[in-house]
Amino acid sequence: MIPVLIGVTLVISSVVYLSPGNPAQIALGQNANPEAIEELEAEMGLNDPPHVRYLDWLAGAAQGDLGTSVRSQRPVSEMIMERLPATLELAIASMALTLIIALPLGVISAVKQYTWVDSLSMVFAIFWISMPSFWLALILILLFSVNWSIFPISGRATPVFTATWLMSLALPAIATGTRRAGLLTRMTRSSMLEILNEDYIRTARGKGIGDRAVIYTHAMKNAMIPIITLIGLQIPLIFSGAVIIETVFAWPGMGRLLVNAVLSRDYPVVQGTVLVYAVIVIAANLAVDVAYSYFDPRIKYD
């Protein structure tokens, strides 16, 4: 866990240090005088060798200090904390949507293999998988916001947990979630099919306990194990998708912060945002590991 996190910081820092351009120059603008630039360079530690800069940054990061934005001069951690809730909201909503669509559809497809239900949901899955999310976002805006004025075009309504907030969250969550839902539907179906072919499912059928008990008790409990793995794999992808969708819907999350920081070459913000994304993913993977032991009696807490 820790080595991976340190590896992540190394990767981020290398990207930043190796990229062309002078942060001090960028901070002060094209017409700044050379003395001021030199002064700022010294202040920002840009003259230090890379490993010193990295260690300084790492020491700061360990204490929650991610540096200062070269654009806004505000602490990076503060900027990220402002944006974090919006990103988490979107990710959780998309994930919930993905699960609500994908799990039932995948299970039904597997149970009704070779029927029209199966074919239809697989066609839908392919359709969703292949749709670029940012394009879907635009189409959703065109239909539901511009034409029918059901949902707001963009932005995040506050305070949270209100109806208007939910309305503003709806389209971004759909746009982020559908591709994942298509994928998870197919993967759930495959996992479920594999389980349905197991001997113990045949044993269960042989007991005459009825299809429902066979599927919901015997198959589902086993299918949850691979499905949790699949859900775990979706987590970084949800955040990936959300970066683009936040931009389309002007959703004030970390993704937009990152895009703007990259476009304005605000290095400390880029560095900090990527790190926080990695921390979220690693934490989510830990949660997945815990979930395993809940569903699989073969895994015991050590």
Q: Which of 34, 64, 159, 208 binds another protein (CB under 8 A)?
A: 208
Q: Of the two residues 110 and 169, which places its CB atom closer to another protein in the complex?
A: 110
Least CB distance to another protein at residue 162 (A): 27
Tell me which of 79, 97, 111, 118 binds another protein, using CB under 8 A. Answer: 118
186: contact with another protein by CB under 8 A: yes
Q: Tell whether residue 274 is a contact of another protein (CB under 8 A).
A: yes
Give the nearest distance from C-beta 220 to another protein in angstroms.
10
Binding-site member from 45, 92, 200, 216 for another protein (CB under 8 A)? 200
CB atoms within 10 A of CB 279: 13
Residues 52-111 that bind another protein (CB under 8 A): none
257 makes contact with another protein (CB under 8 A)? no
Closer CB to another protein, 10 or 36, in the complex: 10
Residue 297 interacting with another protein (CB under 8 A): yes
* Contact positions with another protein (CB under 8 A) in 5-44: 5, 7-8, 11-12, 15-16, 18-21
288 binding another protein? (CB under 8 A) = no
- Nearer to another protein by Cβ, of 19 and 47: the residue is 19
Helix/strand/coil (H, E, C) string of the chain?
Answer: CHHHHHHHHHHHHHHHHHCCCCHHHHHHCCCCCHHHHHHHHHHHCCCCCHHHHHHHHHHHHHCCCCCECCCCCCEHHHHHHHHHHHHHHHHHHHHHHHHHHHHHHHHHHHHCCCCHHHHHHHHHHHHHHHCCHHHHHHHHHHHHHHHCCCCCCCCCCCCCCCHHHHHHHHHHHHHHHHHHHHHHHHHHHHHHHHHHCCHHHHHHHHCCCCHHHHHHHHHHHHHHHHHHHHHHHHHHHHHHHHHHHHHHCCCCCHHHHHHHHHHCCCHHHHHHHHHHHHHHHHHHHHHHHHHHHHHCCCCCCC
Stretch that binds another protein, among 37-45, 68-76, 95-103, 214-222 (CB under 8 A): 214-222
At its nearest, how many Å lie between another protein and the CB of residue 119? Answer: 7
Minimal distance, residue 250 CB to another protein, in Å: 12
Does the footprint of another protein cover residue 46 (CB under 8 A)? no
User: Is 8 or 166 the residue whose CB approaches another protein more closely?
Assistant: 8
The yes or no reply on residue 277 touching another protein (CB under 8 A) is: yes
Is residue 237 a contact residue for another protein (CB under 8 A)?
Answer: yes
Strand partners, 68: 75
Closest CB to another protein among 158 and 203? 203
- Contact pick of 233, 252, 288, 292 for another protein (by CB under 8 A): 233
From the list 218, 190, 171, 185, the residue with the least C-alpha distance to 104 is: 185
282 lines the binding site for another protein (CB under 8 A): yes
Cis-peptide into 159, omega within 30 deg: yes
Closest CA to 57 of 3, 8, 19, 105: 8
